[in-house]
């Protein structure tokens, strides 16, 4: 099978952990150990989140004068290279030497009129107490929204329209390469109005799950997995009556409401992939990837399922 695996940013840098290279490498090593066995039997493409990482780089850049800070599209490119490098190295330490890897800086087109620019929703960077968030908002003109009991910076998150490097990804797959691409939802770009063929970067972060779903469709993937820090999608999350969904069709799972800042985009992306392709999308824990491929763990969404079942 051809499998696209989207690693959540929080699966690589867990909430509350120190944002250090050592911490990130340890988590990426865990991810590599979960993914490596699958590559022996299946063709694998890996994408990843970058919210914590791009936020950290933005904080580092804030040490410069405001007009010297690097824009989000450039920071996104930096995180693709950084995370791709670590993933390649840790997977290479587990797999035979002759297995080829490639990390592609991936530009993704968005629409300048996308409503996401008017309503920033994408969390980036670390969490803050309210006084610290208020101070940074005043100092840097950043926008903050509540994330659990803390506050995080939010930036625009337009929908992906086109993945420019899709042909090189396909060429690499034909040669048996494990490809890492579309990291952080890809590098957001658009064509400037009135200037034909002038592609420029955009101050935004594309949702990784939506871009990964587009990638999975365009690669004709047999399975699309979104690996996160939750074992499955739960209804009534955090309540005594919470239940883990095992199998569902797009209509049945789409009838439930999930948080926009966490599980909501994953469920929407899963429903879109299942509806448009007739194949399965899955959401589950990184450590359970092998069992998710077998259909035994996680939440599996497929249009052919007649009713919702539970773990």
Q: Active-site positions? A: 9-10, 122, 208, 266
C-alpha–C-alpha distance, residues 132 and 56, integer Å: 15
User: What is the Cα 298 distance to its own chain's centre?
Assistant: 17
| β-bridge pairing 223-228 and 243-248 | unpaired
Separation CA 117–CA 98 (nearest Å): 44
Of the candidates 1, 180, 179, 178, the residue with the CA atom closest to the CA atom of residue 96: 178
Question: Going by C-beta distance under 8 Å and a sequence separation of 6 or more, which residues neighbour residue 239?
Answer: none
3-state helix, strand, coil in the chain (%, to 5): 40, 25, 35
| Residue 113 DSSP one-character state | T
Burial class (CB in 10 A: 0-12, 13-18, 19+), 304: exposed
Is the C-alpha dihedral spanning 145, 123, 269, 258 positive or negative?
negative
Give the chain's largest Cα–Cα span. 57
Q: What is the dihedral of CA 304, 306, 308, 311, to 10 degrees?
A: -70
Contact status, residue 241 vs residue 306, Cβ threshold 8 Å: no
């Amino acid at each position: 099978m051809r499998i696209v695996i989207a690693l959540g940013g929080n699966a690589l840098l867990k909430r509350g952990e120190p944002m250090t290279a050592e911490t990130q490498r340890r988590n990426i090593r865990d991810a590599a150990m979960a993914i490596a066995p699958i590559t022996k039997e299946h063709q694998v493409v890996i994408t990843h989140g970058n919210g914590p990482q791009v936020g950290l780089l933005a904080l580092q850049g804030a040490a410069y004068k405001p007009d010297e800070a690097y824009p989000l599209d450039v920071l996104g490119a930096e995180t693709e290279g950084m995370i791709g490098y670590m993933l390649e190295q840790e997977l290479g330490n587990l797999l035979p030497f002759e297995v080829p890897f490639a990390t592609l800086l991936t530009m993704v087109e968005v629409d300048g009129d996308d409503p996401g620019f008017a309503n920033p929703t994408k969390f980036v960077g670390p969490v803050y107490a309210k006084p610290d968030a208020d101070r940074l908002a005043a100092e840097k003109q950043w926008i903050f929204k509540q994330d659990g009991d803390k506050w995080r910076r939010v930036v625009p998150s337009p929908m992906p329209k086109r993945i420019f490097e899709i042909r090189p990804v396909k060429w690499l797959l034909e040669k048996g390469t494990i490809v890492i691409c579309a990291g952080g939802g890809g590098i957001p770009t658009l064509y400037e109005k009135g200037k034909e063929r002038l592609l420029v970067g955009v101050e935004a972060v594309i949702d990784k799950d939506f871009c990964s779903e587009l990638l999975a469709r365009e690669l004709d993937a047999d399975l699309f997995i979104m690996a996160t820090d939750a074992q499955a999608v739960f209804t009534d999350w955090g309540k005594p009556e919470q239940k883990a969904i095992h199998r569902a069709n797009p209509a049945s799972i789409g009838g439930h409401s999930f948080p926009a800042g966490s599980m909501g985009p994953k469920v929407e992306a899963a429903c879109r992939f299942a509806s448009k392709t007739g194949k399965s999308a899955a959401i589950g824990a990184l450590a359970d990837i092998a069992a998710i491929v077998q259909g035994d763990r996680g939440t599996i969404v497929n249009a052919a399922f007649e009713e919702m079942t539970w773990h």
